[in-house]
Structure 1
Amino acid sequence: MTALLRRLDPPSLSQQLRTAAAMTRPLMAEIIDKACRRVASPGQSERSTRLMRLIDSEAWTDAALALIELELPMWQVRRIAYDEGEWHCALSRERELPDWLDAAIEARHADLALALLSALVEVRALATDATRPIVPSVRPLLDPLFQPVACDNFS
């Protein structure tokens, strides 16, 4: 298992977000620790400082949006909707496409910040799965009866 996969454990983090009633500092710290790589980057100091100020003031929705902006620069919030007691959030790489053509990542939760962060974790899990090789990296064993034959005609 690679170091990134050990660091990012999407199923347990996703489960914690689903079962959480409200956002807390320890939960936000765990999300940043497990699913975020750019928060502590040297080139992101201004954005990271803004994020930490939002967390300190417990502005969870703004902190979630700032974290998405920082961690997923190619992704944008496509839709935020409230329906029957739950927030539905969708993140997309191609926001201008019609819904039926877009491969948006959707998440839902009763708390808006948790719905946004659930979508962030889902995108991270999708990115982790995409980096795994589809084709096995081990070469198959050659048949012992197989011998290459030259078929060139040099006459």
Structure 2
Amino acid sequence: MTVVTLPHVTQHFDPMVLIERLRIAHVVTRPLMWDILDKACRRFLSLGQNEKTGRLTRLIDAEAWADAALALIEIELPLWQVRRIAYDQGEWYCALSRERELPEWLDRAIEAQHSDLALGLLSAFVEAQVLSAQATRPSVPNVRRALDPLYEPMACDNVR
């Protein structure tokens, strides 16, 4: 078993670059999978070496890419589930959902497609990660106001 330690998770990365990289890839490779873990995964590193991360590492070592993608979804997106995997005319269609029991027309599933099953799953995973990260942000951004150069705080009492 190969144990690979990843550098710190990149705090600021452009998910569109990773999504495009997955779109143009023909097959999953170890460097691509470790890059996904490094850039798009927050929980994987914080869990340390436990049963789930060990299983994922073994799947990567065995190059069982579809199983590794499913294990990654289980670790990183515990509230999400695979809603649909379908193959049609040379493309795999993968959908992830937080509300799998809802009818499809009510569900806001993340859908991705690729000619390779593992890359389709990983594409849906990265898009769900982006959506989950946006959902954790406050609806009103915190912005410090620029102070007026003439502004001077002053204490005053309402004394009569």
Q: Structure 2 length as normaliser, TM-score? A: 0.79
Q: In 2, are the aligned partners of 1:88 and 1:106 still within 8 Å (CA)?
A: yes
- Partners in 1 of 2:121 and 2:73 — Cα distance? 8
Matching residue of 1:80: 85
CA 1:4/1:24 → structure 2, altered by over 3 Å: closer, same or farther?
A: closer
Q: Quick one: which of 38, 42, 61 aligns to 1:56?
A: 61
**Superposition deviation, residue 38 in structure 1:** 1.7
Q: Quick one: which of 88, 101, 104 aligns to 1:99?
A: 104
Runs of 4 or more, structure 1, over 4 Å off, are 138-141
Q: Secondary structure at the match of 1:91?
A: strand
CA offsets, 1:27-53, max 9 Å, x none?
000000001112223466110000000
- AA aligned opposite 1:29: W
Q: In 1, are the aligned partners of 2:95 and 2:111 still within 8 Å (CA)?
A: yes
**Superposition deviation, residue 107 in structure 1:** 0.5
Matching residue of 1:147: none
- Partners in 2 of 1:42 and 1:98 — Cα distance? 34
User: How many correspondences in the alignment?
Assistant: 138
Aligned: 1:21 with 2:26: yes
- Partners in 2 of 1:39 and 1:135 — Cα distance? 29
Matching residue of 2:41: 36
- AA aligned opposite 2:52: R
Q: Secondary structure at the match of 1:39?
A: helix
Q: Structure 1 length as normaliser, TM-score? A: 0.81
Q: In 1, are the aligned partners of 2:10 and 2:39 still within 8 Å (CA)?
A: no
- Superposed, 1:127-146 pairs within 5 Å as 127-138=132-143
Q: Cα RMSD between the aligned structures?
A: 2.1
